[in-house]
Structure 1
């Protein structure tokens, strides 16, 4: 599993006073939304490792082969196979690879090899002016949430929460990639239920918390990584956004603590809609008992009075949506779907 445990407690403990954070969120003007150029077959993608090290060389090989099977050429970061403790190289090396890929005119997209932990350590070292001047696709999830949040907050660039290079690439993920990046579809994100030999389908079911529709730009990712940025300048403005979240291997009491952080910092009160993805292995442990995940969502989300649903195909699962962070969508909480309202790529240059 892609994990990033150590960043949570320290960052939360160091958070700014919550009133100061709310003031900072209100006072800092959000950057204008920035779209990356479209991706085409035959383009070069850069493989980078901003977080954890890949334990086996085969993982690096598979990431490259997956990109080539998608019809893309591959360029690897100078340190993408490095190791510094559990990290894929030192902070300077990993940040340097990211900055170099954004500045490389040959590279049209950047794909993260894996998640893990450590991406938040890079945020002060990223060249946001370079990123703003050279917008391009960035793809990854889990710990890569730190990059999605910071790049959105500092540049307004739409990035993409989805499969990592060394992860699984079943037909569903390949189809998502091709439809979104190559065909530039205005995607409709609707779970596939398939056949699971049940009288009533159980696989990939959504549950409506509160019905209705809402429109707004998407923000979110991994719950642990996002809340670990509380009090920092690397969280985007939540006002009017559709918040999507997922997590893995987190006990309910920790999930409750993280939702409490989002509530206390004023983030939940600002959003227009809520989508919860998969929370794999988030069951209560032994002891005196525990809040359930349903109860936690009821406590924090229902009082907001906004459209909300759970069960979206987002998270640490084999088949997952590729979600444009910063893309404008309309969600339908009754149907358990959301759809893109506007393109998330630059319009192609007119032919002279």
Structure 2
């Protein structure tokens, strides 16, 4: 879903320097804490707004798939006004993509909002979102990858709990539904644990978690895509991570780039106040010629010195199935068993 995202982000940085991207007044400290707001739970027959806040779809068929997914969940899809347009590699112009997000939050008939896909572009629309209106109209926002920018901005500006989970055009396998529907429809408080595979092997090799530092920790869940999160450092859209459980994932990043981004988060002070860390999948994060460090080495170098429970290999990220993680909800992690247990419902 996000091949070439790194190149698009680099290009957008050049455009921003040229004054071609909407910008906000820079802030070089984390945003202050906001009151937690939980959205209402979903019920069968609810209308779900479909938006494209980032990259354009690579094929028009993704929009049809997205509508069919919403329908299969027992919900009613409603496309945003600008869904299906394109502007270069983006799904529409910045103000148009922001207008669709604003409109879906303002529309009383819409009970949840799902991103069709990620890619790159959400950070460009952050200055154009109406955070006061969004705060007054809480509803679930669902998506992952570049949608991380929206999750973090909503946390920083409104305190709204949102959901790092599948995009509408994602694969939506059985294991995804196992957590998604109880979480959003029933207000369940699941314990997320990687699946046990019955593949005929003596010892399971795939989807194993690995402990960095053992123990249990409690805190609010905060994070998402590492590349996107790093790009928000020093902006008013970065929420306070103190006391949090940081969860991260990424795709198509060499070990040294993961190292560089984690170094930036550390130098910015975003790691020092954490209670725990969960690193999910890092899909295709391996240098073709060998880097000298494995990804596990890099993660241990950054997270072990924190002295807090930490593990990697959790079942979320750029993959066909994944957990849906509520951003802003209190949870307990056990890094020895590789589990994340919600301590409260994410919806009301």
Distance 1:304 1:9, change over 3 A: farther
Q: Which residue number in structure 1 is paired with residue 33 of structure 2?
A: 30
Contact 1:11/1:230, CA 8 A, preserved across alignment: no
C-alpha separation in 2, matches of 1:105 and 1:282: 42
Q: Which residue number in structure 2 is paired with residue 63 of structure 1?
A: 66
Q: Which residue number in structure 1 is paired with residue 23 of structure 2?
A: none
Distance 1:169 1:268, change over 3 A: same
| Within-5 A mapping of 1:14-25 | 21=28, 24-25=29-30
Match of 2:297 among 295, 298, 312: 295
Matched, 1:311 2:308: no
Q: Which residue number in structure 2 is paired with residue 326 of structure 1?
A: 328
Q: Secondary structure at the residue paired with 1:129?
A: helix
Q: Which residue number in structure 1 is paired with residue 341 of structure 2?
A: 339
Contact 1:210/1:309, CA 8 A, preserved across alignment: yes
Q: Which residue number in structure 1 is paired with residue 2 of structure 2?
A: 2
Q: Can you list the C-alpha shifts for 1:305-352, whole angstroms capped at 9, x where unaligned?
A: 000011110100111000000011011111100111011112xxxxxx
Count of residues in Structure 1 that have an aligned counterpart in Structure 2: 336
Listed as ranges, the gaps of 5+ residues in structure 1 are 15-19, 347-352
- Give TM-score scaled by structure 1 length: 0.92
Distance 1:311 1:46, change over 3 A: same
Q: Which residue number in structure 2 is paired with residue 135 of structure 1?
A: 138
Q: Which residue number in structure 2 is paired with residue 107 of structure 1?
A: 110
Listed as ranges, the gaps of 5+ residues in structure 2 are 18-26
Matched, 1:270 2:239: no
C-alpha separation in 2, matches of 1:66 and 1:225: 26
- Give TM-score scaled by structure 2 length: 0.93
Q: Which residue number in structure 2 is paired with residue 162 of structure 1?
A: 165
Segments of 4+ moved more than 6 angstroms: none
Bigger mean CA offset, 134-143 vs 184-193: 184-193
Contact 2:32/2:156, CA 8 A, preserved across alignment: no
C-alpha separation in 1, matches of 2:2 and 2:192: 24
Contact 1:108/1:137, CA 8 A, preserved across alignment: yes
Contact 2:122/2:150, CA 8 A, preserved across alignment: yes
